[in-house]
């Protein structure tokens, strides 16, 4: 990535000295290896941050305008605190507005501010590029205000603000991963308890490739909405409509025994979720024991489940996974993201990467799409990388705002 500091100073004609400080924060993209199609609000994931990032730079203005500059796109947007709301035409700038809303709602003095955003996270690939913009902006603003807000408060406040802005519920998992990630470590993330466990990666001799299939994804929102509806109906039937019960309270045998109460589609969706919970636990154990054979089987079984039970794969994605599975030196491969196209990931030995890429030339000939391959590593998390925070006066959080955090938490986490 280019150095965003000089870009920001040039865009807003700032002096290159301490009299006009610039605060810069960086947040990574993330990848889910297992678990992204799970029980809403109670997901269980094997994930990591990746070494593709978004950087956000912030500086003060002398007026009350909020200015936004996307240096990669050469686009500019503007608003004011009074007009701080979602606008479809503002696209990427809406994600920065969400973070501004968090601090305005907490009582911090939002006046005129300059923002610059840049990044190298692949777009529309299921790698949480928008969440990275939001969390990087929050951390930059935290540095700017020398704010006392904790990471837990950031999670709940940012999730509540995003839900308010877009009018639909959102999960704090991506923010949690961005704040918790460590270099060369896998994370098991429990959305229900918001707990994270880290596992040192034993896969040092393998590269991680992300393959963007370039398959156009149209109408997937309706398909995913249907899957979530089927999950909800299945859990309601299994639990006797008990809101305290989760899919974690069931085993695969429970669903087999309940076939008379569940339709075939609902049973398949629920069976995927119950088995995927077990796979996350088993994958964590296999990584701790460096059991590569077991880890490989878990990943492939998960893809088969997404294909056959949850039914969110497609022929192009299945072809990529199968071709990877046939290649010597490939440990594991699976789809990642929302499905119906999107990306696969592959753990592969470095000495066979070029052979693998050569074999994928058939993909474009067969399907007509030109795939993009990204080589990534397991990365560390969000950080403030520039800013003289001691130059700002600390702003204490009002007591009534602290109490509101409990309300925000209840509205986001079931």
- Residues 4-32 have pLDDT tens digits of 999 999 999 998 777 789 999 999 999 99
Percent helix / strand / coil, the chain, rounded to 5:
45, 20, 35
d(CA 228, CA 235): 11
Read off the pLDDT of each residue in 18-47 and give the average, rounded to a whole number: 94
| pLDDT tens-place string over residues 131-147 | 999 999 999 999 999 99
CB of 42 within 8 A of CB of 172?
no
Active-site residue (options: 17, 105, 153, 174): 174
| pLDDT tens-place string over residues 154-175 | 999 999 999 998 888 889 999 9
What percent of the chain has pLDDT above 90? 76
- Domains in the chain: ranges and CATH: 4-183+380-412 (3.30.230.10), 203-376 (3.30.70.890)
Pairing relationship of beta strands 113-119 and 65-70 according to DSSP bridges: parallel
DSSP 240: T
Confidence of residue 406 (pLDDT cuts 50, 70, 90): very low
d(CA 139, CA 57): 10
Confidence of residue 401 (pLDDT cuts 50, 70, 90): very low
Asked whether the whole model's pTM tops 0.85, one would answer yes
User: For residue 320, what is the enclosing H or E element?
Assistant: helix 315-326
Look at residue 407 and tell me whether its pLDDT is greater than 60: no
Residue 51 is a catalytic residue: no
CB of 237 within 8 A of CB of 258?
yes
């Amino acid at each position: 990535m280019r150095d965003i500091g000089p870009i920001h100073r040039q865009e807003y004609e700032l002096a290159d000295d301490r009299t006009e400080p610039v605060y810069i924060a960086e947040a990574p993209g993330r990848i889910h290896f297992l678990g992204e199609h799970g029980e809403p609000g109670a997901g269980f994931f094997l994930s990591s941050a990746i070494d593709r990032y978004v950087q956000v730079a912030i500086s003060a203005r002398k007026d009350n305008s909020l200015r936004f500059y996307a240096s990669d796109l050469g686009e500019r947007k503007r608003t004011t605190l009074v007009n701080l709301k979602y606008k479809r035409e503002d696209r990427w700038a809406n994600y920065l507005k969400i973070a501004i809303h968090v601090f305005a709602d907490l009582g911090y003095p939002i006046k005129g501010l300059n923002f610059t955003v840049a990044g190298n996270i692949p777009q529309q690939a299921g790698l949480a590029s928008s969440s990275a913009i939001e969390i990087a902006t929050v951390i930059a603003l935290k540095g700017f205000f020398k704010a006392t807000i904790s990471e837990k408060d950031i999670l709940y406040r940012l999730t509540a603000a995003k839900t308010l802005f877009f009018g639909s519920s959102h999960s704090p998992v991506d923010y949690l991963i961005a704040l918790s990630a460590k270099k060369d470590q896998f994370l098991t993330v429990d959305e229900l308890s918001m707990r994270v466990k880290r596992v040192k990666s034993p896969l040092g001799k393998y590269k991680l490739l992300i393959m963007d299939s370039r398959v156009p994804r149209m109408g997937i929102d309706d398909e995913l909405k249907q899957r979530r509806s089927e999950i909800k109906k299945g859990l309601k039937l299994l639990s006797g409509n008990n809101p305290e019960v989760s899919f974690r309270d069931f085993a695969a045998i429970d669903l087999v025994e309940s076939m008379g109460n569940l339709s075939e589609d609902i049973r398949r969706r629920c069976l995927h979720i119950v088995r995927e919970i077990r796979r996350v636990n088993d994958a964590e154990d296999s990584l701790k024991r460096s059991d590569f054979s077991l880890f490989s089987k878990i990943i492939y079984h998960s893809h088969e489940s997404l294909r056959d039970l949850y039914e969110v794969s497609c022929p192009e994605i299945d072809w990529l996974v199968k071709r990877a599975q046939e290649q010597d030196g490939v440990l594991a491969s699976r789809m990642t993201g929302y499905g119906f196209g999107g990306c696969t990931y592959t753990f592969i030995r470095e000495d066979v990467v070029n052979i693998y890429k050569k074999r994928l030339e058939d993909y474009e000939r067969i399907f007509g799409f030109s795939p993009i391959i990204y080589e990534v590593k397991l990365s560390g998390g969000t950080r403030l990388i520039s800013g003289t925070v001691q130059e700002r006066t600390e702003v204490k959080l009002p007591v009534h705002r602290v109490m509101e955090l409990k309300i925000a938490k209840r509205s986001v986490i079931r």
